[in-house]
Structure 1
């Protein structure tokens, strides 16, 4: 059984709670779908834990941004992480591929197979974010042949099986349950509670899970770092 983690965003206590829950449930392997460190929490400490574990990992859009954007171009979350990561930790990020065929049956991507910024299971439009239709998902998935494609990025857990039998699953976010974004249009994500999300995979079957952790401690850390937006989201799972 494989535990699927994504969008940890430097939330060390959430990550530790998810690891403990997954191991208790019987997980014998872990996979990380990216956006591991960016945010006003514990990027270096989270990197240390992930490097020790040595799980298969892919890069999300925040890894790419931390590694390629000039510091003055970075958003506050990327800049916070970048300023605290060692050369060894940055090299570990740089070694992560954007996509990965984990097995013949399981394919990993952060956003969609073609872009780390494209939502695979959700669609952003002027009215906000909604669940993507099967036709939209199939178009974004393209000719990816795997029976199970695992993606992250949206922080919204969802599993869909297409008419051709391919399953796509997003485990949700370990570390952040609400946020504002403006790509490709302004929208808000809210899971409505502070629980850490991940998934368990048995064969090609997917179980979405949510785990309690010290979210108030994480919110207090964000507040100390001057990020009231993150503090509110970590406390409530709402974007405010």
Structure 2
């Protein structure tokens, strides 16, 4: 069994197309999408239409919930851009997406954590941005991952939201090497390789390169394994699109995989 995992496309259609081609070359039997599909100053409607045609198993992320339920005055600018671009058919498709999904075979999907689409699973935000060069975020400890996993005992739990490719393994009480464990996999972001945020503290997420990220999980006689993949695409075209739509901070992130201009400096306020 070989499953491709994508997440956090954020309307980046060129990145999505490159990943679709790479998945085809990898010979994946299924593809699952973990949400945050359209929000951002790129190609929200076109991206949703592409995914509607593909028919992949898909869950909603926090940005789908925000675009569909928040009053526009309370939306951040990325959500507002998507809300203005989406038509009735795209909205109906997004509204029908589940918050979580059991793929079968021991694979279960969420966007943030099993209980919260805004919570970080494999990373922890810290209140020390800038101190000794800290980005204000670190890899979660084993105890933190275990606590966030809660009562779930699936062989594989797939998550997104943080745009950070990462794999962790939780051994459950009474388990031992290879048995009684959960593999938690975040494929990273197809569409946005870096961002800054201020919840619950200011922090910066940076993958360090502009590549589109996704993952491949495989099951053989020895159990499940995961491979994190970085795929090249025309990120300059995406960056120019962001600039044309007034988002120089997105352009910086798309070109470099690092935070350049900050969101508050470009749009004048924080986003949800």
SS at 2:91 equivalent:
helix
The two structures, once aligned, show a CA RMSD in angstroms of: 0.7
Residue matched to 1:160: 168
Residue matched to 1:221: 241
Deviation of the 1:29 alpha carbon: 1.3
TM-score, structure 1 length as denominator?
Answer: 0.98
2-structure distance, mates of 1:52, 1:182: 35
Residue matched to 1:15: 16
SS at 2:59 equivalent:
coil
Matched, 1:231 2:251: yes
Deviation of the 1:190 alpha carbon: 0.5
Matched, 1:142 2:150: yes
Report how many aligned residue pairs link the two structures.
240
Alignment of 1:60-79 (within 5 A): 60-79=61-80
1-structure distance, mates of 2:256, 2:76: 23
SS at 2:85 equivalent:
coil
Residue matched to 1:29: 30
Deviation of the 1:162 alpha carbon: 1.4
Gapped regions of structure 2 (runs ≥ 5): 129-135, 173-180, 261-272
Residue matched to 1:212: 232
Residue matched to 1:201: 217
SS at 2:217 equivalent:
strand
Deviation of the 1:28 alpha carbon: 2.2
1-structure distance, mates of 2:239, 2:3: 29
TM-score, structure 2 length as denominator?
Answer: 0.87
Residue matched to 1:84: 85
Deviation of the 1:104 alpha carbon: 4.3
